[in-house]
Structure 1
Amino acid sequence: MHLSDARTIPQLLADMARLGDHPAVVAADTAVSYGELSERIAEAGRAYLAHGVGPGDRVGLWAPNRLDFILAMLGAQSVGAAVVPLNTRYTGHEAAMILRRSGASVLVVADDFLGRRPLETLRTAAVDAVSDGAEEPALSAPVPGLPSVRLVVRLDGTADEPGESSWKSFLADGAGEEERFDAAAAAVQPDDVVDILYTSGTTGLPKGVMSAHRQTLGVARAWAAGAELSAEDRYAIVNPFFHGFGYKAGVIAALLAGATIYPVETFDASALLELVQKERISVLPGVPTIFTSLLNHPDLKRYDTSSLRFAIAGAATAPETLFRDMSEVLGFRTVAQAYGMTECVVATLSRPGESLEHAKQTTGPAVAGVEIRVADAAGNDVPVGDDGEILLRGENVMLGYFDDPEATANAVDAQGWFHTGDIGRLDEHGCLKITDRLKDMFIVGGFNVYPAEIENVLRQHPAVNESAVVGVDDERMGSVGRAYVALLHDADPMPTADDLAAFCKTRLANYKVPRSFVIVNDFPRNSTGKVLKSKL
């Protein structure tokens, strides 16, 4: 196993080019070698330069798992810009908020995905925000209401509006920028910001988690080492590229190892089993829902899954028998766990040769370069086997929250320890077990959901007085949301549960919309009036 020791994306591109004809990405009927991928990323980088994008700029990227996502992302990073990936399930309101908060100057968007028209919803939402009191729209901007966005690049189809460019035309604009590209790539430093990944957080407002080149590559290297990735591996990436799991532990980890990437644009159990069999997929991480869907497939026995070597079933509570079934039924030779969050994507990882039983119960020890403490409310370390808040420190823990020093100071203490808000315990081997969450967050199909964000949306409904959202167990998704809602006594008309769900669907990604709504007269409260969600 050989992993690139690159500390910047341009250094990674140089290492990739040396792999020549070895397949880098296989998407549908298109196979791209490492040499070709390196050149196509440089082509995208030259295009960004031609449009005035450079160090310190932010590029929004709103697209599913496609080859063009990789080209657009690494092309921007190779000239010193930072990427801001957007969840493909976002509504226009959610996307507008993140583009506004990040100050992104370019938006690269796939505008035809699963029948959705994200650019259309974004434009509507951005104008709505202006009418709600945000800044005045720049009428000449490609997205009125988002004056920082000066260029929209469409990955699909043609450019129809002023300030737009098709992907093909965008790339053509970079002709003749070779010298500038070489100079820009050479100037990128390991400590430069490479990405800003937004997480909703407990306040309901998105916070931009900043990472440097060395950190994103360090996270990917830790994951690749733990997975023992090599150039022989064929890595099917189901986890979204906009998420740290699919981006850093997926795309970047694979490129560091010289593995072949198979982007999975949408999850379909039959199609994925077909891919595993046809392409002899060896690495397939995902959330538990992915594996339970494969295991429950009625024709599973018809497929040859013997090539499967390594999986991590992370990001949600796993059914009791899942790890054993992944090994004995699907045929994985190694099934591991990992623990991380946007602020430190890979903090722990199961040890090589770990028993299934122990891997199922713990997320492994800290990866290289990360320290872990488990502390009580006073900040003192607790004994082995006792519960406390998980604290992380190390070179791969985020730089901080973008343009939010107060939130950064609240999350990282004076000694550099990041307070995760998660509760866990360390065993005698130094392996971490997650036991609870200090915060209210719950996980739906692998995606973090913060009740405060949903409650903020419900507060905008003219008939809602107060709400409290909690996660409840769900066999397929791990958890789903349930909203308890108190209505205004004089609301007219009184909304139904369906009305409230419809209201949320226009403002929240579908996984955030509560599965059920319960109308209540009041909430259980403590002596200070705070809602007791544990009682709910």
Structure 2
Amino acid sequence: MSDILREGHRPASEAPLQSDPVLNDPVLARVAGPGSPFEIGLRNGIRQFVSAPPDLNLMIESARRFGNRTCVVDFSSDGEERRLDYDQFFAWRDQLVPLLHVRRGDRVAIAMRNRAEWLVAFLAVMKAGGVAVLVNSRGSGPELLAMLEDVDPAVVLADTDRADAVRDAGYKGRVLDLTKPLPEDELTRRAAEPAADAGVADPEDPCAILFTSGTTGRVKGAILSHRNVITGLMSTQMSGMVVLTNMAAQMGTTVEALIGQMPQQASLLVYPLFHVSGLGAGFLSPFVSGGKVVIMRRWDADEAARLIAAEQISMFSAVPTMLWDILHRARTDGASLVSLRNIGSGGQALPVNLVEEVHALCPHAQIGTGYGMTECSGAIAQAVGPDFMRRPAAAGRVLPMVEVRIEGPEGQILAPGEAGEIVVRGAQVMKGYWNRPEETAAVLTGDGWLRTGDVGFVDEDGYVFIVDRKKDMVISGGENIYCAEVERVLGELPGLTECAAFGLPDERLGERLVAVVIAAGNDGIDEAGVIEWVAGRLARYKAPTRVAFATTTLPRNALGKVDKIALRKLWPQLSGEQ
């Protein structure tokens, strides 16, 4: 637990809870009760961690105490290993800060694949008082350019591929390629003139902007404050402490003794760092807790299996696709998973047969799942170990720091077990979308409730079940693909008169994106050409896996919109798939 949390930062306006039902669980009441590092209070009617630091950089700085403990294991593009301890990592961060030339509140974009430089860049932006803008490194040059032009950053911190891509797309702003050696003359000059102290942020100051899309297919930057991000991190830490407290009780020991017996936590980072899951659970959470972060640039199941064994990975959180891949290696190639103690997944529901397979191969590991979103700084619901096994079909249990209600079509609050739109409130909820006041107002109410766009229900025990999505979105291999965005690009292909993109169930990917098109008057269009058209204009993972051609107009509902339910039923006939 971070020293900075023990010191206490309770504002006078944050009152401790006396009898909130969230503390009915006796274990949670001990972990989050008065005087504890995770003490929960109320501020403006919203639950807060009363001892939380106001500035994420204070939380980051507390990790200096881990000194020569291994911090990051990374592999360069040519396969050379890089192993950095906490002292080395902070030295690298401190060297970069004065090169940014930014002041508090300036936006700084980070456009890189997963690598050590990305982590250093984020920490440097926090130290300098900037706002980290996390762009989708898998996007095409024009997609990257659109995000940069939207936020107008003071500087872009990039790797070589992304630096070239944004320049080729026409970006004229300042770009610093962190994968090249830092200029010696600049380092010397800046060392002689240290950067001014940025001071301490206000908890409501913007901390990061993460991009997400809506049903219109337009990317939007969700603004997360320091309070948002810190609450998300501490909520994860608190959940871990509840699990440890239960384990200690079962073993007849204390939490302190149990922690003292554990080796350093080692996490395999596979989620993209521009995702909220990669930033929070994948990087910041293990970093501030003294863990070792082992970075993968891109998913490779054989390399992941090797790293799990070689680095004694204890925590592995991935989308179901990746879990299937690892389990296959263990079954067929004898890959060792003995070091794994925590196996988690998110982004889509865990298939029951996958849960059974994980439990059979890793009976010693705690299995968990979660449900969250960028706009909520991470998880809204989570379940680990016995909590998860009680309701493996659920997306998790509502976390203590979040209020969840289910609303009907007219905004009425529904009873437990009734399905409607999931609406949430809490200190994790974003401040809004960057430069999108109308779209912000469409999802955020005046009293802080966020409309998730997901349809589901909450049972009597607080478990969340996702039924459907109001948003027309496909989650394939853990990646969000917005059908409207793909349809917009399909609509630009000469000769296509109608198109529709939608998802189909897939055992490995969770869902796969397919499309149905009508190509009247252009006999030269074929399936491969349509797929390449999309792949050349959007990130490749957004391209349909299959394209079927219809000869009659697409089915439509009473409002004149394409009826995708009917199209799914027609898919076997249109595609020839059975």
User: 1:123 aligns to what?
Assistant: 167
Asked whether 1:435 is paired with 2:435, we answer no
Asked whether 1:99 is paired with 2:148, we answer yes
Asked whether 1:12 is paired with 2:44, we answer no
User: 1:422 aligns to what?
Assistant: 454
Three-state SS of the structure 1 residue aligned to 2:264 is coil
Asked whether 1:207 is paired with 2:238, we answer no
User: 2:272 aligns to what?
Assistant: 240
Asked whether 1:404 is paired with 2:436, we answer yes
Three-state SS of the structure 2 residue aligned to 1:239 is coil
Contact 1:235–1:281 under 8 Å retained in 2: yes
User: What RMSD over aligned residues (CA atoms) do the two structures have, in Å?
Assistant: 2.3
User: 1:196 aligns to what?
Assistant: 209
More helix by share: 2
Aligned residue pairs, count: 495
In the TM superposition, residue 469 of structure 1 has moved relative to its aligned partner by: 0.8
Three-state SS of the structure 2 residue aligned to 1:209 is strand
The amino acid that maps onto 2:190 is G
The amino acid that maps onto 2:347 is A
Asked whether 1:270 is paired with 2:283, we answer no
Instruction: Map residues 387-536 of structure 1 onto 2, 5 A cutoff.
Output: 387-487=419-519, 489-491=520-522, 494-520=524-550, 521-536=552-567
In the TM superposition, residue 356 of structure 1 has moved relative to its aligned partner by: 4.7
The amino acid that maps onto 1:436 is D
Contact 2:367–2:385 under 8 Å retained in 1: no
Residue 200 to residue 318, structure 1, CA distance change in 2 (3 Å): same
Residue 515 to residue 404, structure 1, CA distance change in 2 (3 Å): same
User: C-alpha offsets along residues 375-401 of structure 1, whole Å, 9 cap, x if unaligned?
Assistant: 111111212111111001111011100
Residue 3 to residue 200, structure 1, CA distance change in 2 (3 Å): farther
Alignment gaps of 5+ in structure 2 = 6-52, 76-80, 245-258, 568-578
Three-state SS of the structure 2 residue aligned to 1:407 is helix
Three-state SS of the structure 2 residue aligned to 1:303 is coil
Q: Pick from 183, 187, 191 the counterpart of residue 175 of structure 1.
A: 191
Residue 300 to residue 188, structure 1, CA distance change in 2 (3 Å): farther
In the TM superposition, residue 445 of structure 1 has moved relative to its aligned partner by: 0.6
Residue 48 to residue 430, structure 1, CA distance change in 2 (3 Å): same
User: 1:156 aligns to what?
Assistant: 179
Instruction: Map residues 297-446 of structure 1 onto 2, 5 A cutoff.
Output: 297=329, 302-331=334-363, 333-351=365-383, 353-446=385-478
User: 1:216 aligns to what?
Assistant: 229
Contact 2:369–2:388 under 8 Å retained in 1: no
Residue 318 to residue 156, structure 1, CA distance change in 2 (3 Å): same
User: 2:132 aligns to what?
Assistant: 83
- Structure 1 window deviating more from structure 2 (292-301 vs 409-418): it is 292-301
The amino acid that maps onto 1:94 is E
In the TM superposition, residue 176 of structure 1 has moved relative to its aligned partner by: 2.6
Residue 172 to residue 211, structure 1, CA distance change in 2 (3 Å): farther
In the TM superposition, residue 351 of structure 1 has moved relative to its aligned partner by: 4.3
The amino acid that maps onto 1:452 is A
Contact 1:47–1:174 under 8 Å retained in 2: yes
Asked whether 1:45 is paired with 2:97, we answer yes
Instruction: Map residues 22-61 of structure 1 onto 2, 5 A cutoff.
Output: 22-28=69-75, 29-49=81-101, 53-61=102-110
In the TM superposition, residue 424 of structure 1 has moved relative to its aligned partner by: 1.0
In the TM superposition, residue 252 of structure 1 has moved relative to its aligned partner by: 1.0
User: C-alpha offsets along residues 366-421 of structure 1, whole Å, 9 cap, x if unaligned?
Assistant: 22321100111111121211111100111101110001111000011233211111
> How far apart are the structure 1 equivalents of 2:548 and 2:294?
42
Three-state SS of the structure 2 residue aligned to 1:297 is helix
User: C-alpha offsets along residues 193-225 of structure 1, whole Å, 9 cap, x if unaligned?
Assistant: 111111121111100000012211221221233
> How far apart are the structure 2 equivalents of 1:270 and 1:467?
38
Contact 2:223–2:431 under 8 Å retained in 1: yes
Residue 481 to residue 302, structure 1, CA distance change in 2 (3 Å): closer
> How far apart are the structure 1 equivalents of 2:376 and 2:403?
11
Three-state SS of the structure 2 residue aligned to 1:199 is strand
- Structure 1 window deviating more from structure 2 (444-453 vs 407-416): it is 407-416
In the TM superposition, residue 284 of structure 1 has moved relative to its aligned partner by: 0.7
Residue 14 to residue 379, structure 1, CA distance change in 2 (3 Å): same
In the TM superposition, residue 169 of structure 1 has moved relative to its aligned partner by: 7.2
Contact 1:224–1:254 under 8 Å retained in 2: no
User: 2:324 aligns to what?
Assistant: 292
In the TM superposition, residue 40 of structure 1 has moved relative to its aligned partner by: 2.0
> How far apart are the structure 2 equivalents of 1:354 and 1:19?
32
> How far apart are the structure 1 equivalents of 2:183 and 2:316?
30
The amino acid that maps onto 2:146 is M
Residue 460 to residue 3, structure 1, CA distance change in 2 (3 Å): farther
> How far apart are the structure 2 equivalents of 1:524 and 1:425?
30
Residue 346 to residue 527, structure 1, CA distance change in 2 (3 Å): same
> How far apart are the structure 2 equivalents of 1:310 and 1:523?
46
Three-state SS of the structure 2 residue aligned to 1:265 is coil
In the TM superposition, residue 447 of structure 1 has moved relative to its aligned partner by: 0.8
Contact 1:202–1:450 under 8 Å retained in 2: yes
> How far apart are the structure 1 equivalents of 2:342 and 2:119?
23
Identical residues among aligned pairs (%): 29
Three-state SS of the structure 2 residue aligned to 1:479 is strand
Three-state SS of the structure 2 residue aligned to 1:534 is helix
User: 1:133 aligns to what?
Assistant: none
Give the TM-score of the pair, scaled to structure 1. 0.87
Contact 1:347–1:370 under 8 Å retained in 2: no
Three-state SS of the structure 1 residue aligned to 2:392 is helix
Contact 1:336–1:349 under 8 Å retained in 2: no
Three-state SS of the structure 1 residue aligned to 2:192 is coil
> How far apart are the structure 1 equivalents of 2:55 and 2:127?
8
In the TM superposition, residue 244 of structure 1 has moved relative to its aligned partner by: 0.8
In the TM superposition, residue 86 of structure 1 has moved relative to its aligned partner by: 2.2
Three-state SS of the structure 2 residue aligned to 1:30 is strand
Contact 1:505–1:513 under 8 Å retained in 2: yes
The amino acid that maps onto 2:212 is T
User: C-alpha offsets along residues 243-282 of structure 1, whole Å, 9 cap, x if unaligned?
Assistant: 1111112211112212121112222222212211122111
Three-state SS of the structure 2 residue aligned to 1:360 is coil
In the TM superposition, residue 332 of structure 1 has moved relative to its aligned partner by: 5.0
The amino acid that maps onto 2:534 is C
User: C-alpha offsets along residues 295-345 of structure 1, whole Å, 9 cap, x if unaligned?
Assistant: 112665633322211121111233321122222203452111111011014
Contact 1:235–1:254 under 8 Å retained in 2: yes
Alignment gaps of 5+ in structure 1 = 112-116, 127-143, 159-165
Contact 2:350–2:369 under 8 Å retained in 1: no
In the TM superposition, residue 486 of structure 1 has moved relative to its aligned partner by: 2.5
